[in-house]
Structure 1
Amino acid sequence: MGSVNSRGSKAEAQVVMMGLDSAGKTTLLYKMKGHQVVETLPTVGFNVEPLEAPGHVSLTLWDIGGQTQLRASWKDHLEGTDALVYVLDSTDEARLPEAMAELMEVLDSPCMVGVPVLVLANKQEAPGALSLLEIRDRLGLEQLQDCCWELRACSALTGAGLPEALQSLGKLLKSHRSCR
């Protein structure tokens, strides 16, 4: 894919967004681009969209489908990744262990050494959504010691937390060199 580089005063980065099916990845992508909430279908394959992040960073964001049969191909999208955005459904407590296992498998790829990770706890507006503290503790995110990571709450439906998530992503990308 590419790497963080500067062309003039604008940095460019390749960002891969992954997570289990129905976590809200595509809805998040289009909400970050400023669209109203759109009805989406399960992503078969991937979506690729340009996105501007705070700090003069131009992102190419790869939204990769999360259905079980597509996860085997996730590793094919990792080469040249500058950051990983991993999306969780905060209301799907039963699948948190599966989500963490898939994240750990992605991070085990040699392409992911030192790549910063932004974990987005989506669907925070929904009744029964787990708090960030509960998610962090249940997932054991502290075990991600080999890379820079951050956990953020958000809602793809309301847009809550998305500006902060983009700021975090920009910060993680800037620290990318120190992670490697």
Structure 2
Amino acid sequence: MGLLSILRNLRQSPEQQAHLLLLGLDNSGKTTLLKQLASEDISHIVPTQGFNIKCVQTSGFKLNVWDIGGQRSVRPFWRHYLDNIDVLIYVIDCSDRTRFQETISGQLKGLLEEDKLATVPLLIFANKQDLTTAISASELVESLNLHTVRDRMWQVQACSALTAEGLQVNTAHTFCKRCKRCLDKYFHVTEINKSFFER
């Protein structure tokens, strides 16, 4: 899968593992997306109450994923899971326009301002693209004003967790290399991001 390719090469540590934090509002499709990436059955999905931890082994690489519930009552506890994160994954239900403001001005904005997530690469899945009401990934970039984000590497990937469309990311290798440079040279992150946006 594209995500596994990103993380397999993201950080070459002696332990050969990466730590992911998977967040998003309730009903955004986080758990379904994670199960698809892990090639698991998605016929019975229930809302995440609290959190799920999934470890995925691939080609000698260990992927540790924390899938945290997105209900309003759970979100205040997100900050307790921010330590030692290699990649922040945020899933957005692109068919639910009424909740965009909740993400734009609230949840995602707050996460990007957290000191513990400073320079942590951001991968956004623009989910539910199988629905006709869904906005495109490019519209999402504009709505979130992501072009102003200069302190980290980011990518928005259109997908459907239900059909698995878009979960095999063709640009994963390029994103991985850019994230690697960002982590290795975080003191020069502004220059790196300038190069990233100009390509």
Q: 2:70 aligns with which of 39, 45, 66?
A: 66
Q: 1:178 aligns with which of 182, 185, 189?
A: 185
Aligned residue in 2 for 1:143: 148
Aligned residue in 2 for 1:77: 81
Matches within 5 A, 1:151-170: 151-164=156-169, 167=172, 170=176
TM-score when normalising by structure 1: 0.87
For 2:171 and 2:45, the matched residues in 1 are separated by 22
Between structure 1 and structure 2, the one with the greater Rg is 2
Q: Which amino acid aligns with 1:63?
A: D
Unaligned runs of 5+ in 2: 1-9, 188-199
For 1:57 and 1:19, the matched residues in 2 are separated by 25
When the two structures are aligned, how many residues end up with a matched partner? Answer: 175
Q: Secondary structure at the match of 2:129?
A: coil
Bigger drift between 37-46 and 73-82 goes to 37-46
Aligned residue in 1 for 2:133: 128
CA contact (8 A) 2:19 2:84 kept: yes
Aligned residue in 1 for 2:197: none
Q: Which amino acid aligns with 2:92?
A: L
% identical aligned pairs: 34
**Moved segments of 4+, more than 3 Å:** 168-173
Q: Secondary structure at the match of 1:31?
A: helix
CA contact (8 A) 2:56 2:63 kept: yes
Q: 2:97 aligns with which of 74, 85, 93?
A: 93
How big is each residue's C-alpha offset from its partner over 1:36-81, in whole Å with a ceiling of 9 and x where there is no partner? 323222111111111256x864310111100001000000000111
Q: 1:172 to 1:122 in 2, by over 3 A?
A: farther
Aligned residue in 2 for 1:108: 113
For 1:144 and 1:46, the matched residues in 2 are separated by 28
Bigger drift between 138-147 and 25-34 goes to 138-147
Matching of residue 25 in structure 1 with residue 34 in structure 2: no
Q: 1:72 to 1:119 in 2, by over 3 A?
A: same
For 2:61 and 2:100, the matched residues in 1 are separated by 31
CA contact (8 A) 1:82 1:173 kept: no
For 2:178 and 2:57, the matched residues in 1 are separated by 15
- Structure with more strand by fraction: 1
CA contact (8 A) 1:84 1:118 kept: yes
CA contact (8 A) 1:15 1:81 kept: yes
- Shift in Å, 1:165: 7.8
Unaligned runs of 5+ in 1: none
Q: Which amino acid aligns with 1:167?
A: A
TM-score when normalising by structure 2: 0.79
Root-mean-square deviation (CA, aligned residues, Å) is 2.3
Aligned residue in 2 for 1:16: 21
